[in-house]
Amino acid sequence: ARAILRLSQQFPGDPGAMSPLFLNYLLIAPGESFFMAANEPHAYVAGEIIECMACSDNVVRAGLTPKFKDVKNLVDMLTYSMGGPTIEAGTPLSHNGKIIRYTPPVPEFEVIMISVTPSDTIEYKNPGVPSILIVLEGAGTIDGTKVRPGESFYWPANSQSLSLAVAEDRRGKMKLAVAHKNCHIDSPTTINRQDFGSSSHNVTVPSSPMPYMGMPS
């Protein structure tokens, strides 16, 4: 009820304010994630998140926006599947848990979270595919260059490893997100129970909607 009241205040007269009655209302904590398949409606209400998605040239809006709402296309494209997503906390890529991967069961993308504590240095190997790095919090250096929250970088596939460091006198850690093509497609960390089964084992990976980018279909 509080969610409906909040949305109705933010978007007066928008019927989308009633969406909490038929969508999953999720509260997720830092470090948690979930995978959402294509053609599933969703709305981001409050807080800060990272949303990584496959390349797309269209957005079909259902409500909670002053922009155009394409009702006909929306009705035709929705899957109308029921149930909730699996919320998970990723899988460590390092023994100390400072590098965590979030891998969906699709080939287009995955996200790696890296935490560098004061006086620490992490040598992060190039994954062999083009990547985007975003500094989420804290301050430190990347290959000796000072960086701060909000800065982003393109990391070519043929580049060397990166040296990530935080000075000893800093009070907090530096946290970065790295997004690139899925390099762990055979070991997804998160799935949608209704679309892909009840666990990450024996998952049938859906075909890629973008075979023209050289991704498997």
- Dihedral sign, Cα of residue 90, residue 93, residue 98, residue 103: negative
- Residues forming the active site: 61
Site of tokens 């948690």: 32
Question: Residue 110 corresponds to which amino acid?
Answer: E
Alpha-carbon gap, residue 61 to 67, rounded angstroms:
8
Alpha-carbon gap, residue 93 to 110, rounded angstroms:
13
CA angle 84, 55, 33 (to 5 degrees): 30
Say how many C-beta atoms besides its own lie within 10 A of residue 157's C-beta. Answer: 12
Q: How far apart are the first and last CA of the chain?
A: 43
Contact 153, 159 (CB under 8 A): no
Contact 184, 101 (CB under 8 A): yes
Alpha-carbon gap, residue 148 to 146, rounded angstroms:
7
